[in-house]
Structure 1
Amino acid sequence: MDLLLLSFAGVTAKEYLTLLNKSWISPELKKKINYAGSLDRKKIIARLDRDNIGYLTHEHGLYPALLKEIYDFPYILYYRGNAALLKEEMLGVVGSRKATAYTRKSLELLLPSLKNIAIISGLAYGADEAAHRTALSHNIKTIGVLAFGHNTHYPKTTAGIRTEMEKNHLTISEYPPDTPIQKWQFVARNRIIAGCARGVLVTEAEEKSGSLITLEMALDENRNAYCLPGSITSALSKGTNLRLKEGATIVTEAEDIQSDFV
């Protein structure tokens, strides 16, 4: 199977699993497979080269070992930047899009003290942006996971740091370059953050927050769960405080995280 062509034909990670497991193939998947066979591989490669986009499959030596362990792992990753960063130990950092100065100040305190750990997040507004900016300002390796193709960007506020990351760090996506934004892809993106990381830190989160879904994904994959404690009067700390009561590791200093990366 040519995984690049399957990807450009729209074959999803779950559909690829059915092919691997030789399960029943739906008529829709058959159409995609037939379409993949009609695609011109040389033209696709030339287009990727033009857009400065590389790719690697789950069979490649640089593909993250931890990510390969999750159920619906992405069978292909497109990237801009230094793909060798995928072999680094990673900490996922997520949180509310409404993150306050507490997130930024806490990350400024914690991240520079971590050793040999790359920061992976979703290039979203709020906590993700704070994580990437803190990493960049302290020359910490950082990886951004896109929920769309590389020829798209959202939100505008992180376009500048994305450009910087693609020069000296890394952005990845499981989607072909021209894939537009769709709401469900943001949830799918979270499984890649959780899957790549040895642990996930949530800085601030409402009681019902997408970042807590990422934390749950991490727990499902036996990753470490970290949360910042927050004020009981803050709605943005309600989610994290509840997770701490349920057993997540409280983080008040870098060593609370570093001790798990040995």
Structure 2
Amino acid sequence: MSDLEQMGVIHGVGLGPGAPDLLSVRADRLVRGARHVAYFRKAGRPGQARRIAEGLLRADAVELPMEYPVTTEIPLSDPRYNECLSAFYAHCTDRLLAVARTGEDVVVLCEGDPFFYGSFMHLHSRLSGIAPVTVVPGIMGMAGAWNATGLPITWGDDVLTVAMATLPEEELVRRIRDTDALVVMKIGRHLPKLRRAVIAAGRADAAWLVEHAAMPGQRVTPLADVDTVTPYFSILLIHGQGRRP
């Protein structure tokens, strides 16, 4: 028997956009049965993934919180940012491997889908080939957001663009102007820049902001009516208006 065959499996489990009843049947089974449960969180906070799983974990579950060393304290352009996070993900990988080498499985709780802008991707790339790893898809946060508006995001041949509000303003203007339907994530303190880009692209009247989609406190507001800094879990939407019967 090979070393891999003797190891426990590390499962990256997508929990969906925020509501516990939006987990898949497979995700629910794995989360409820897990003896070892890992999840990312900001220091001093329980973490969104852990909040979604509240009430699902078995009483004797061993929890492995993985606390980000930085979030916004160091600019993304600063070389120290990548150095710090690279060391962090390497440490998290070692912690998961230590459990898997005992033959025990580990469930890593992931917001949304593990392979869609998620932190688990950085573990997966380090674990592949040295430990058994599986991924359980989850409903993405942006799907929760456009469903919260009660309107389809795309019709017919509409092109959907997903952009980050961290992009330069001129790049945002181009992306917003050149697509049919739009999702913008990672807004927060970038709201003023994003608003200017939406206006410059001539699409201010079509833009919506969804806060805490599929979570307690969900709110759907026309962008024109938003005048405060948005929380982390905010998504901007512009719905496509394409071909339909």
Please give the range of the TM-score, normalised by the shorter of the 2 chains. Answer: 0.3 to 0.5
Greater fraction of residues in strand = 2
Larger Rg: 2
TM-score by structure 1 length? 0.31
Greater fraction of residues in helix = 1
Using CA pairs below 8 Å that are at least 6 residues apart, which structure has the higher relative contact order?
Answer: 2
TM-score by structure 2 length? 0.33
